[in-house]
């Protein structure tokens, strides 16, 4: 089933932020965290980044999920207004992801075209209005 969620980026504050949102929105909801140290990538990171969150998720209200990650300074990532919030679209098919991506990426100022990643088919674009969209199928 296709879904829309909100993806948040933090600078090594994801776990604290998600725990705070959990306490406000849904204290009984499970908080799912995957650390960089849980992945092969973890060994390549500086010690201070290994315990960071590669992917976190929390259901807040009405079935809406907040997803989040720590941006890594060692990879040149800096959190700023414009890259800290993304609308995450999860599609039932690659064809639908390709169709919507083709439309939203027209005039985009930043983008990563849809391609295969270890978790699936993925891409992102900053549309002509400055809104970030992430695509998964």
Contacts of 4 (CB under 8 A, 6+ apart): 87, 88, 89, 90
Q: How high is the pLDDT of residue 34?
A: 97
Please give the class, per CATH, of domain 1-90: alpha beta
Task: Tell the residue number behind the tokens 């829309």, with chain if given.
Answer: 4
Confidence of residue 129 (pLDDT cuts 50, 70, 90): confident
Residue 130 in this model has a pLDDT that exceeds 90: no
Residue ranges per structural domain of the chain: 1-90, 91-137
Mean pLDDT of 92-102: 96
**Could you read off the pLDDT of 11-37 as tens digits, one per residue?**
999 999 999 999 999 999 999 999 999
Per-residue pLDDT averaged across 94-116, rounded? 96
The pLDDT of residue 116 is above 90: yes
Question: CA neighbours within 13 Å on the CB side: how many for 43?
Answer: 2
């Amino acid at each position: 089933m296709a879904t829309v969620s909100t993806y948040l980026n933090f600078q090594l504050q994801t776990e604290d932020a998600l725990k705070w949102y959990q306490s406000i929105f849904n204290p009984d909801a499970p908080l799912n965290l995957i650390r960089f140290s849980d992945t092969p990538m973890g060994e390549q990171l500086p010690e201070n980044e290994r315990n960071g969150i590669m992917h976190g998720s929390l259901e807040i209200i009405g079935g809406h999920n907040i997803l989040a990650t720590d941006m890594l300074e060692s990879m040149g990532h800096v959190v700023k207004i414009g890259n800290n919030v993304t609308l995450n679209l999860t599609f039932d098919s690659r064809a639908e992801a390709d169709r919507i991506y083709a439309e939203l990426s027209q005039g985009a100022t930043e983008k990563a075209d849809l391609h295969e990643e270890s978790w699936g088919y993925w891409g992102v674009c900053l549309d002509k209005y400055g809104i970030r969209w992430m695509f998964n199928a």
